[in-house]
């Protein structure tokens, strides 16, 4: 799965950095006696934003068909809007909207971020040549 240096770099720079809020909260929850939830929607929303913004940047440099680029740019943009919608729902919840089930928002954010992780990995996998470690960048 992560056999190439480029994929390892992507994993460390994008995935781990994107998961820092989740990891930090989980560790804080584990090692303190405070009543802090180990998982909240906002951390997974931030993770999703990081994944899709990074992949939008990478797609720009991919040497492939414009149709493929457009499909994946639109898909990533849709996911970014989904994360924006979840952020709006969280803000509504903070404003004392009692009709919002925060657990549904949390599990939705987790589910969408897992889908985002799989999707961005498959796109990044296409960015890396099967023979070699170079990113498929267009030459200027």
First vs last C-alpha separation in the chain:
30
Domain boundaries of the chain, sorted by first residue: 5-127
Closest CA to 127 of 68, 74, 58, 72: 58
Number of Cβ within a 10 Å radius of residue 4: 16
The angle that helices 17-31 and 41-60 make with each other, rounded to 10 degrees, is 160
What is the tens place of the pLDDT at every residue in 13-38? Answer: 899 999 999 999 999 988 887 788 88
Closest CA to 43 of 56, 28, 54, 31: 28
* Predicted TM-score (pTM) above 0.85: no
């Amino acid at each position: 799965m992560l056999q190439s240096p480029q994929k390892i770099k992507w994993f460390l720079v994008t995935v781990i950095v994107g998961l820092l809020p989740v990891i930090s909260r989980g560790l804080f929850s584990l090692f303190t006696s405070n009543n802090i939830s180990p998982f909240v929607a906002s951390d997974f929303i931030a993770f999703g934003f990081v994944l899709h913004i990074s992949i939008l940047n990478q797609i720009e440099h991919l040497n492939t068909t414009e149709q493929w680029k457009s499909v994946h740019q639109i898909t990533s943009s849709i996911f970014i809007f989904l994360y924006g919608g979840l952020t709006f729902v969280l803000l509504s919840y903070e404003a004392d909207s009692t009709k919002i089930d925060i657990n549904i928002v949390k599990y939705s954010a987790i589910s969408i971020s897992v889908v985002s992780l799989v999707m961005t990995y498959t796109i990044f996998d296409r960015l890396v040549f099967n023979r070699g470690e170079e990113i498929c960048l267009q030459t200027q």
